[in-house]
Amino acid sequence: FFYFSYFIEWNELQKKTQSEKEIKLLIENWLRISHIKLGWITDFNKIVSKYGHSWSVNSVRFSPNGNDIVLTSDDYIIRIWEIKSGKEIQIFEGHVSWIYDAKFSPDGHSIASCSRDQIIILWDVKTGKYVKKFQGHAGPVWEVVFSSDGKNIVSCSADTTIRLWDVNSGKEIKTLMGHLQGILSVQYSMNDQMVVSSSIDKTINIWNIKSGEVLRILKNHSNCVRCAKFSPDDKCIISCSEDKTIRIWDVESGKELKILNGHSNTVNEVKYFPDGQNFVSCSDDNTICLWDVKTGNQIQRLEEHTSWVTQIDISRNGCTIVSCSFDKTIRVWG
């Protein structure tokens, strides 16, 4: 189910313009009434058009400065696009199968990517050249994430393991084992002391990186857990699942704090805004939703996509969202 098609259709731009303007007005009016600061800039109608892709796009992520996005694809190629111009500014070739994820390093100078070919590759952003490979997984690698200082990488795989890597040497530091089925997502805590993982086995694990031990197992989802993320203060975890729910958990106790219902299909990804007061989710019900963390209320629904919304990201300054969908569009909301 990771082989999503997110081609970008330029000829859909004109027919969607009017409805996007209506959404812009609705959101601006809501922001004025509620006085909630989400960091948005004024327009919500910027869409990145089609450049260079004839295969499905599997992930989309912002650069640290928010000016560019990196895309991964089933054509085995990674691309960087400049948001303002919509131009492709760099490509990376080296994987030999579908690429599931790619992320910028914290300084923006490198990209780490992972693939169905079971390999993680580190790339130089400026030159587009391969730097080194990280090998050890025995199955497709589904997500790869840099530590906040850029010195380490954590990855998760269908082989049911999480692996920690040293960026400079390319060597594996540690293997974390505990899930019973493939691991779909992994993320460092903000202080880099913990890792959270979510799995097809319906559980979320919180790990101590230094010891490699499982600190907590969170178990209330009734289906595959697609994603789990730490809050900016590391006190909570937010998760989403094929059971159509979003759940918020207390890290210290492992207790479930809230169940959020609102999506009518699989929830594919969730992510906190930098201030930790709100978060965004995307779903196979074709929508992107904004939520208030404290109340658990849904505060806005974006319904412009016409098929599954498979991934979202928020720029570091909290001003922009990027989304990709099975409707063959990537939208940059700002």
**In a domain? residue 320:** yes
CB 242 within 8 A of CB 268: no
Q: Which residue is listed with tokens 């327009």?
A: 43
Domain count, the chain: 1
**In a domain? residue 4:** no
For residue 61, give every residue at least 6 positions away whose Cβ sits within 8 Å of its Cβ, in sequence order, or none.
69, 70, 101, 102, 103, 104, 313, 322
Angle 118-179-279 (CA atoms, 0-180°, nearest 5)? 85
CB 260 within 8 A of CB 247: yes
**In a domain? residue 275:** yes
pLDDT number for residue 324: 83
**In a domain? residue 5:** no
**In a domain? residue 2:** no
**Mean pLDDT, residues 32-60 taken together:** 48
- Write the CA distances from 77 to 44, 94, 97, 102, integer angstroms: 29, 8, 9, 11
CATH code for the domain of 120 = 2.130.10.10
At residue 35, does pLDDT exceed 80? no
Which candidate, 143, 47, 155, places its Cα nearest to that of 99? 143
**Mean pLDDT, residues 289-294 taken together:** 95
**Mean pLDDT, residues 225-235 taken together:** 98
pLDDT number for residue 16: 42
Q: What is the pLDDT of residues 248-287, one digit of tens each?
A: 999 999 999 999 999 999 999 999 999 999 999 999 999 9
Q: 326 pLDDT band (50/70/90 cuts)?
A: confident
Name the least confident of 78-92, 98-112, 120-134, 228-242.
Answer: 78-92
**In a domain? residue 286:** yes
**In a domain? residue 3:** no
Q: Please state the pTM of the whole predicted model.
A: 0.84
**Mean pLDDT, residues 215-233 taken together:** 98
In the sheet where 278-283 sits, what is the strand order?
A: 267-272, 278-283, 288-292, 298-302
**In a domain? residue 149:** yes
CB 200 within 8 A of CB 184: yes
pLDDT number for residue 12: 37
3-state secondary structure of 194: strand
Residue span of the structural domain in which 98 resides: 10-333
In the sheet where 183-188 sits, what is the strand order?
A: 183-188, 194-199, 204-208, 214-218
Q: Which residue has the higher pLDDT, 284 or 329?
A: 284
Q: Which residue has the higher pLDDT, 300 or 117?
A: 117
